């Protein structure tokens, strides 16, 4: 199973970006999909998560600005980021809890990371 993230870049404060992350390979089902970020000198933090039924949760610092969504048919998760702030600057990683074979335990797979830089 591979996760391919895309959509990062450089944007001015107040701008928007949309990240995408597509899972491919031997996939029976995907439960939770999530976005995490790691800023220089800081620990990686969970930004947003969406489960297969569509329920979502966000870290307080992005509530009202970021929206996570998924396309189950495409095994893809998105992160729409609006009203970006310099403190959102980080490498963003996607993750997915994947069941490869029915009845087997799921595993967490990670994407390669995509850089988001917000200038003031």
pLDDT of residue 118: 98
pLDDT, tens only, 21-69: 999 999 999 999 999 999 999 999 999 999 988 999 999 999 999 999 9
Q: What are phi and psi of 13, to 5 degrees?
A: -55, 135
Q: Residue 85: is its pLDDT beyond 90?
A: yes
Average pLDDT over residues 68-79: 97
Cα distance between residue 40 and residue 34, in whole Å: 20
Q: Hunting for tokens 């998560």 — which residue is that?
A: 49
Please give the share of the chain, as a percent, with pLDDT higher than 90.
98
Q: How confident is the model at residue 70 (pLDDT cuts 50, 70, 90)?
A: very high
Cα distance between residue 120 and residue 104, in whole Å: 47
Average pLDDT over residues 94-101: 97
Quote the Cα angle for 59-70-103, to 5°.
100
Q: How many CB atoms lie within 10 A of CB 118?
A: 20
pLDDT of residue 52: 87
């Amino acid at each position: 199973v591979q996760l391919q993230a895309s959509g990062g870049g450089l944007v001015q404060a107040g701008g928007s970006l949309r990240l995408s992350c597509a899972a491919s390979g031997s996939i029976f089902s995907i439960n939770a999909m999530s976005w995490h970020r790691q800023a220089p000198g800081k620990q990686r933090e969970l930004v947003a998560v969406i489960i297969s039924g569509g329920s979502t949760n966000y870290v307080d610092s992005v509530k009202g600005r970021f929206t996570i969504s998924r396309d189950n048919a495409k095994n893809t998760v998105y992160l729409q980021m609006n009203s970006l702030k310099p403190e959102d600057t980080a490498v963003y990683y996607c993750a997915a809890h994947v069941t490869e074979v029915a009845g087997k335990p799921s595993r967490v797979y990670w994407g390669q990371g995509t850089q988001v830089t917000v200038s003031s």
